[in-house]
Structure 1
């Protein structure tokens, strides 16, 4: 695993990226006073409530609550993970993404070396496409493709190709020097049984290029065309650019086919994805020779609100469905939907959609089972619910799964169903589940205290850090929020010109991040000409709080233990300072 991206690089990346230019290139912004506006790209609306601040380098939607900096926008808009978003922004600026030493398992690769990997994979995909049309076996392969009901248009859309039957066809074409030969082996396009002697990894197979979220070819799936030619599917092993537990075949193509994916269908194989696309069902994806992982589910629910899992109705299919369900539970927030379709014996999506057509197949999807039905069918297997032992078993198995679900609605619905099965009321079961309701109540009661006001003003206007003294000793007073205030002030003093977006990025993985985002979007209604005065007065109030706390501590100690001469002097000075402050 590569080392972490240095914090300094992330800060510099945000400093070099103008969020207004970034968002304007994707959404289209209009000037509105100091800020810019547009209709929110993250929810449907007719009048603009999405604002972008040039000063803060921060966006916020007053309709749906979406907010963040340039990195957050790329993550949400392009559906990328954090590291991918960093690399995307860096590539726009022609920057290499450095990695910290110490946690890396190998030498760092430059942006040019990474581009070389992706270029080689693309050249391989184009080589296989060329062979599909020009190899001596091409007629046989094309006849096979047509026999599977696929058109040339679909083959082109998915970059389907043919790996020649010869042992060294790809190696001879792309491995023309020592470095290229090594790269072919490292990216698992070639194998090497003896030093300097490479042969093609894929031979005599129909080739399905696997593309990442940014459309880059990162791996291949190869399918035999005759039953006696070895394993039905041969997938690329993991490489430095391919991690199968994180990638989904067909996701890039589905996103290209739809401006917004209303739902995504998970199927088992490459051929299922392309056969469905051929029939106009262009929202199917497949896991890559592995079970549907938590990372897959995270990606899917970041891309759409509704996921439908389509599996065989046999035991293996239902086991696969259960693994998918377990991995999906933490991502089932309000508005998210997970459903399951089980196909008739002997059928897969490929065969079924060709047999009954798009409309009939989509009718099956419209009647998909909600995940709660699959959940209780699985948990109730081999349990006698007429006996107390069976009811207790169901309760103990169900509660840990229910606790994983972030949606209050789903939790209450499942608890009500569970209660009917075991003879308990939902109210009796509510106490057994750690519900997110309490956290929601806390969020609703987010009041602007003097400390939050000071932090909020400083966060939105970091230049005010110089208008007050930096007093790290106040952290010893243990006043709630003072350590956070001082950390933000120190950041602002240390880096002249730092923006709200950069400060927030420093706290992205911290417990304070959500509260800071609220303060970054807080509408303080303070005129610019009064801002510094209000900030100074608020800080003075907090400083007095800290001094009072220290004085009270010393007075209590004086009564219980006595004070040293230094502490008596401090007590005297604090008393005088507070008198002066109040006079």
Structure 2
């Protein structure tokens, strides 16, 4: 509905903000000056003892110097009463004695129809409640008593009973001269396909009235008493009053409780909400027999920024949580998300409260996990990531989910959270022994560290002499390249993960790169300084074999850094293949000699050949000086030639003299 120009200005003029706010706060008499409209009180939006909430009655605005809440009378009513804009306007207009603007005739007619339907629904609520007291409802009363609902709970939730008769409610409403179209329009009866009287929608069921945010009865939920009934729970059909995908059970009272600071809980059914409310968790709602819709999700976020989903601890409950995550991801905004409290297996909130009490439920709520944690769990639980292909599939699945998030800031934070979880999965678990000498590390298999090889073995084994120190030097170059150009880490993540880093400092730097490179160079360097020391990077890059690397001398050249890392990782891999084949060959030599030993030795030879070729490729471009520094062979040849010419000229000069 649109409001005419000037209506809101007049409403604000007529409404005294100090009177509106005064219903929710106690003014500080020492700081307040009522004559000037300058009022102070403890803030109603957050817990505090001092009076930091200021109301300027003349200007019609409030501001809290603690939580920075601000607004006018309309926004105050919206926040404290948890209502929408038009509802807040109607509340203030009523208090100010201002009539709301007239609607157009068609809209008025439609509103009148809805009002009539709501009145019929109230008659049905009263009739069902009366039927619960009859002898025919003895079994229903016994069931409700077994479920722990006493007389006060039945009154509070207006629970009733629909007798197992075809026209019980129809005849009762017709006896009050209610028109057929209103009974049918409210969804309380269905027309007969055989030309007879319409028949009741609900028969032989315990009845739960469903009310909207304004408190109007708009529908019913009926629980069948006959175990053989195909539909255990049945909701009213959709009507002009009732849209199942836009309604929540107990939304009105939950909104009020959430406005007072209680966490908003989303349960699965009526009985869960009733049990939660009875245990003190009054801000509880439930969808109406279906998965949560986008409209219901937006309703939840209008009530509270981070509802807690309390789903049943069974397979169906977990599937519902995963569907909800997929629905919510594109709708996320800053400060607007979901948390999940999964009940123990086979229990719903009602079962848990009866078995362990409110304290057990509160503990689950305190430990409710964020969406990103549950999303990660879905993609990793029960799976083994022991190959590059499986890791790549995990990365792809998670990347596709994260890309659903429209907000770039949230998308970035999700990406970082996933990187942290991935790091924990693949790096943080302690290793356990496995047959064949392999170790399980996180979700991957890794060969155990190799002991130094004895020099008395066959000549092919002697190739490994000094391999450990060479590997250490290459690791230093790779880590320095990554640290000075963190933008390339993502492209070489699997290679970086595979680096063993026997040196503890190298290992810690590797882990810091994996976890924080995506956050940018400044953040990464802060983390490195905080963990390894302020001069850690300087010490690394000043080493002779590192300082001469071009991408380290000229930081920021991503192409050069990528080429350096790719080359050094390839050489590491070749050297590692050699070491592993040597170790396996040595193990075979220690046992019975057979063809397997010969095969191992041939594999070691091939690995050695690959390592040698890699080294030759390296020296094709560089020579190593006496001090261990790499010198460009082209530059050295040019220098040697120049020096030779100078020597020749001097010699010729002496001969001429």
Structure 1-normalised TM-score?
0.62
Q: List gaps (5 residues or longer) in structure 2.
A: 427-489, 494-512, 521-657
Write the distance in 2 (CA, Å) between the matches of 1:221 and 1:10: 39
2: CA distance, partners of 1:16 / 1:170:
47
In the other structure, the counterpart of 1:486 is: none
Cα 1:172–1:395 shift into 2, 3 Å: closer
Question: How much has 1:143 moved relative to structure 2?
Answer: 0.8
1:80 maps to 83
C-alpha distance in 2, partners of 1:341/1:139? 36
Mapped pair 1:248 → 2:248: yes
Task: Show the counterpart of 1:320.
Answer: 320
Moved more, 316-325 or 90-99: 90-99
User: 1:248 is paired with a residue of what secondary structure?
Assistant: coil
1:396-420 CA distance string (max 9 Å, x none):
3243245548669955752542663
**Range with bigger deviation, 138-147 or 11-20:** 11-20
CA distance in 2 between partners of 1:113 and 1:147 (Å): 40
2:40: which partner in 1?
37
1:472-551 equivalent positions in 2, closer than 5 A: none
| Cα gap change, 1:167 to 1:414, in 2 (>3 Å) | same
Tell me: CA distance 1:397–1:156, structure 2 relative to 1, closer, same or farther (3 Å).
same
Partner of 2:153 in structure 1? Answer: 154
Instruction: Say whether 1:342 aligns with 2:367.
Output: no
- Displacement of 1:359 after TM fit? 3.1
Whether 2:190 is the aligned partner of 1:191: answer yes
What's 1:228 paired with? 228
* Cα distance change of structure 1 residues 251 and 173 upon mapping to structure 2, 3 Å threshold: same
- TM-score (ref. length: structure 2): 0.56
Q: Distance in 2 between matches of 1:158 and 1:256?
A: 16
Aligned residues of 2:55 and 2:61 also touching (Cα < 8 A): yes
In structure 2, the partner of 1:473 is: none
8 Å contact from structure 1 (residues 96, 110) kept in 2? no
1:515-573, Cα deviation, whole Å (9 max, x unpaired): xxxxxxxxxxxxxxxxxxxxxxxxxxxxxxxxxxxxxxxxxxxxxxxxxxxxxxxxxxx
Is the counterpart of residue 59 in structure 1 residue 62 in structure 2?
A: yes
Residues in 1 aligned to 2:218 and 2:33: alpha-carbon distance in whole angstroms = 40
Kept in 1, the 8 Å contact 2:11–2:98? The answer is no
Counterparts of 2:310 and 2:84 in 1: how far apart (Å)?
26
Consecutive unaligned residues in structure 1, runs of 5 or more = 432-583
Distance 1:119 1:429 in 2: 60
CA contact (8 A) 1:35 1:51 kept: yes
Instruction: Find the aligned partners of 1:427 and 1:359 in 2 and give their Cα distance.
Output: 38
- Whether contact under 8 Å (2:160, 2:207) holds in the other structure is yes
Supply the RMSD in Å over aligned alpha carbons.
3.7
Identify if the C-alpha distance between structure 1 residues 27 and 217 changes in structure 2 by more than 3 Å, giving closer, same or farther: farther
User: Cα distance, 1:280 vs. partner?
Assistant: 4.5
Q: Report the counterpart of residue 127 of structure 1 in structure 2.
A: 127
Cross-structure match for 1:296:
296
Take 1:394 and 1:284, find their aligned partners in 2: how far apart are those partners?
Answer: 33
* Distance (whole Å) between structure 2 residues aligned to residue 406 and residue 127 of structure 1: 54
> Do the aligned partners of residues 362 and 26 (structure 1) sit closer, same or farther apart at CA in structure 2, a change above 3 Å counting?
closer
Aligned position for 2:162: 163
Q: Which residue of 2 aligns with 1:23?
A: 21
Alignment of 1:301-312 (within 5 A): 301-304=301-304, 306-312=306-312
Contact 1:267-1:349 within 8 A present in 2 as well: yes
Candidates 46, 51, 57, aligned match of 2:49: 46
Deviations 1:154-192 (A, max 9, x none): 222211111222223323333457664322222222323
Say if 1:428 and 1:60 are closer, same or farther in 2 by CA, change over 3 A: same
Q: Aligned to 1:359, what secondary structure does the other structure show?
A: helix
Q: Is the 8 A contact 1:161 1:206 kept in 2?
A: yes
1:359 equivalent in structure 2: 359
1:386 aligns with 2:385: no
SS in 2 for 1:351: helix
The 2-side partners of 1:122 and 1:307 are apart by: 30
Asked if the contact 2:403/2:411 (under 8 Å) is kept, the reply is no
Distance 1:215 1:412, change over 3 A: same
Cα offset for 1:279? 4.3
The Cα of 1:289 is off from its aligned counterpart by: 1.9
Alignment partners' CA distance in 2, 1:281 and 1:328? 24
Is the 1:245–1:295 contact (alpha carbons within 8 Å) kept by the matching residues of 2? yes
| Structure 1 contact 276–349 (Cα < 8 Å) conserved | yes
Residues in 2 aligned to 1:405 and 1:100: alpha-carbon distance in whole angstroms: 43
Matched, 1:397 2:395: no
Structure 1 residues 126 and 429, CA, compared in 2 at 3 Å: closer, same or farther?
farther
3-state secondary structure, aligned to 1:22: helix
Cα distance change on mapping 1:186 and 1:13 into 2, 3 Å? farther
- CA distance in structure 1 between the aligned counterparts of 2:224 and 2:46, rounded to whole angstroms: 44
Return the alpha-carbon distance in structure 2 between the equivalents of residues 169 and 209 of structure 1. Answer: 18
Change in Cα spacing, 1:6 to 1:208, as seen in structure 2 (3 Å) is farther
Contact 1:419/1:425, CA 8 A, preserved across alignment: no
Matched-pair contact (CA < 8 Å) for 1:412–1:426: no
Confirm or deny: 8 A CA contact 2:402 2:411 kept in the other structure: no
Aligned to 2:161, the other structure's residue is in SS state strand
C-alpha distance in structure 2 between counterparts of 1:325 and 1:264, whole Å: 17
CA contact (8 A) 2:205 2:225 kept: yes
Q: Secondary structure at the match of 1:312?
A: coil
- Which structure would you say has the larger RCO, counting Cα contacts within 8 Å and 6 or more residues apart? 1
Instruction: Provide the rounded CA distance (Å) in 1 between the counterparts of 2:227 and 2:85.
Output: 42
Helix, strand or coil at the partner of 2:135? coil
Task: Say if 1:214 and 1:252, in contact at 8 Å, map to a contact too.
Answer: yes
- CA distance 1:281–1:42, change in 2 (3 Å): closer
Q: Report the counterpart of residue 205 of structure 2 in structure 1.
A: 205
Q: Once the 2 structures are TM-superposed, how far is the Cα of residue 208 of structure 1 from its aligned partner?
A: 1.0
Counterpart of 2:71 in structure 1 is 68
Counterpart Cα distance in 2 of 1:391 and 1:157: 49
2:114 and 2:181 map into 1 onto residues whose CA distance is 14
